[in-house]
Amino acid sequence: MAGSRRDTLNGNDFLQLVEEGARYLERHADSINALNVFPVPDGDTGTNMLLTMRSMLESNELPPRDTGTVAQFSAALSRGALLGARGNSGVIFSQFMKGLSLGLVNTVACDGADLSRAFAEASTASYQAVGNPVEGTMLTVMRAAAEGTRAMTGSSVDVLSQALRSATIALALTPEQLPVLKEAGVVDSGGQGFVAFLAGALAFVSGEKIPLEISTPVNSLGTVNVNQEFLEHTGTDMYGFCTQFVIRGEDIDVVWTRQRVQTIASSTVVIGDNQTIRIHAHAEDPGPLLTLGVQLGSVDQVSIQNMDLQHQEFMALHGYTQEESNLLAVIPVASGVGFSRIFKDLGATHVVSGGQTMNPSAAQLLDAARKANANHTILLPNNSNIIMAANQAAELSGGKVSVVASRSIPHGIASMLAFNPDLDGKANIDAMTAALDGVQAGEVTIAVRSATIDGVSVEEGQPIALLNGKLIAVGATPNEALLNMLDQAEIEVGSLVTLYSGAGNPDMTAQEAARSIQLRYTGIEVEVLDGGQAHYQYLISVE
């Protein structure tokens, strides 16, 4: 672009600066998307940042053009970015805009010194929003822009020129800071998106066309040339679900919420204020995150993306095909980080996130089996509501998928214990199916409505216990309901009772339950493991 130089910015200038930054990003969005290899293909970085910018530029809180101050425009843009943020990169960029707004409070028109101060605030705010900041990402590039302009005075052109230089140098160094980028042979995609934004901003204030190059080479497919060894190493990785939503409420504790989200998910970004919070997180099961949101207020703008499917598309985009494997794979369905870890430790290839209230489709199960890329795959549905979908996936597989009809997580674990990778598919299916009869499965949860079932009356909110899918006991507390259920389980001497404690169930409470069981029944073993499942205080195995 060609235009006049703007050393000092009024409110309308500031808006146009952001608009030109968005235009630069839009022109390079596809190339930025192709760089996205960290931490997983979490949507498309360039697209997510662009959609975030469009949302803030379309905010109905923006003052009319030529009427507002820099402070008013920056505050409105920040609010629009918060409400419209998409993906990890978009959420972090929205926090950058929030920091800019904080640095420009009460500013009618801004010069270089004002921008320098605002960049420092923006970098700090961005780091604070991320649960576990990682260097070599867009956070590093944002901080470099802030540090490069620290305490600068003079014109907005001088400050933005230095910010772009510093950010560009930092971007080039991201592969040295983050092994996954170096292995893939690319720079950080979010950092590249931020550099594109700065280039557009500088183009506006300088009145000159600012060149921007995505330096990573392009392959014959027209996509970024990602190192094939990196693709091979990530070919069987599982990533779970990218979960995003907004919580609206009153007196929400942002710090507490951020800490809580960090305990149940990864790649967490929690931003906002005591009335509106946006959450971005990666989880094998999005259920606990949404449950937390409902507990805190009204949940809106829910977006759940299957990152495993995104990763498959990413691999195909870069021309990667996995060689046929001779392995026999087992894929269970489970909810909770604890159960995912348990099944993988027992030999599962990977785990499909699902269970009660979240039943995966036949297509999702078949996709998981295809990704396992084994000669034969055994599905463990681990829930009576998922068995039919698993059978449909098997029918669609052309004989490459079989189902062991586990009706619960305890049944699935018992079946997994019978798995022997040295045996063929039929021998394993027979052994794993036979193992289902050797375990009783119990569940302790809270009644969601009042009812009388099988002669047992329960009130809404009352702890209840099921044994092998049948409601048989209630209690004043989950531990009491658990003991009342076990009284009807006909526990024999030498039995093993395993308690899988759910998300949010205090470890002290689970250990207290184990001690009570040990005192009540002689000659048995009791084990407590972290299941991490939502909705159920305990899942119980008696064998």
Calculate what percentage of the chain has a pLDDT beyond 70.
87
Say whether pLDDT at 31 is over 70. Answer: yes
Average pLDDT, the chain: 82
Helix, strand and coil content of the chain, in percent to the nearest 5, comes to 45, 20, 35
Q: In the prediction, which pLDDT does 534 show? A: 75
- pLDDT for 183 equals 66
**For 204-262, how does the pLDDT look when each residue is reduced to its tens digit (9 = 90+)?**
999 998 988 765 544 433 444 444 433 333 333 345 677 888 899 998 998 899 888 88
- In the chain, the domains with their CATH numbers are 11-215 (1.25.40.340), 241-307 (3.30.70.3100), 324-438 (3.40.50.510), 440-542 (3.30.1180)
pLDDT higher than 90, residue 341: no
State pLDDT tens for residues 191-206. Answer: 899 999 999 999 999 9
**In a 10 Å sphere around its CB, with 0-12 CB exposed, 13-18 middle and 19+ buried, how is residue 399 labelled?**
exposed
Which of these ranges, 53-67, 179-193, 451-465, has the smallest mean pLDDT? 179-193
Flag whether pLDDT at 54 surpasses 80: yes
Q: What does the alpha-carbon distance between residue 162 and residue 198 come to, in Å, rounded to a whole number?
A: 10
pLDDT for the residue numbered 331:
92
- Check pLDDT > 60 for residue 336: yes
pLDDT at 223: 44
Q: What is the pLDDT of residue 357?
A: 61
Query: Which residue, among 539, 491, 488, has the nearest Cα to 383 in the 3D structure?
Result: 539
Query: Is the pLDDT score of 309 beyond 70?
Result: no
Flag whether pLDDT at 154 surpasses 70.
yes
Question: pLDDT, tens digit, for every residue of 412-471?
Answer: 988 998 998 888 888 999 999 998 888 888 889 888 777 777 778 888 889 998 888 888
**pLDDT surpassing 80 at residue 518:** yes
Buried b / exposed e along 121-160 (16+ C-beta atoms within 10 A): bbbbbbbbbbbeebebbbbbbbbbbbebbeebeebbbbbb
Q: How confident is the model at residue 307 (pLDDT cuts 50, 70, 90)?
A: low
Q: At what angle do helices 138-148 and 87-103 cross, to 10 degrees?
A: 20
Token pair for 529? 């493991």
Contact criterion met (CB below 8 Å) for 397 and 366: yes
pLDDT score of 302: 82
pLDDT value at 142 more than 80: yes
Q: What is the average per-residue pLDDT within 270-276?
A: 83
Question: In the predicted model, what is the mean pLDDT of residues 277-287?
Answer: 81
With a CB cutoff of 8 Å and minimum separation 6, the contacts of 480 are 463
- pLDDT, one tens digit per residue, over 87-135 is 678 888 988 999 999 999 999 999 999 999 999 999 998 888 776 777 8
| pLDDT grade for 164, boundaries at 50, 70 and 90 | very high
User: What does R_g of the chain's alpha carbons equal in angstroms?
Assistant: 27
pLDDT at residue 44 in the model: 62
Burial readout 34-66 (b: 16 or more C-beta within 10 A, e: otherwise): bbbbbbbbbbbbbbbbbbbbebbbebeebeeee
Q: What is the pLDDT of residue 240?
A: 66
**Better pLDDT: 343 or 454:** 343
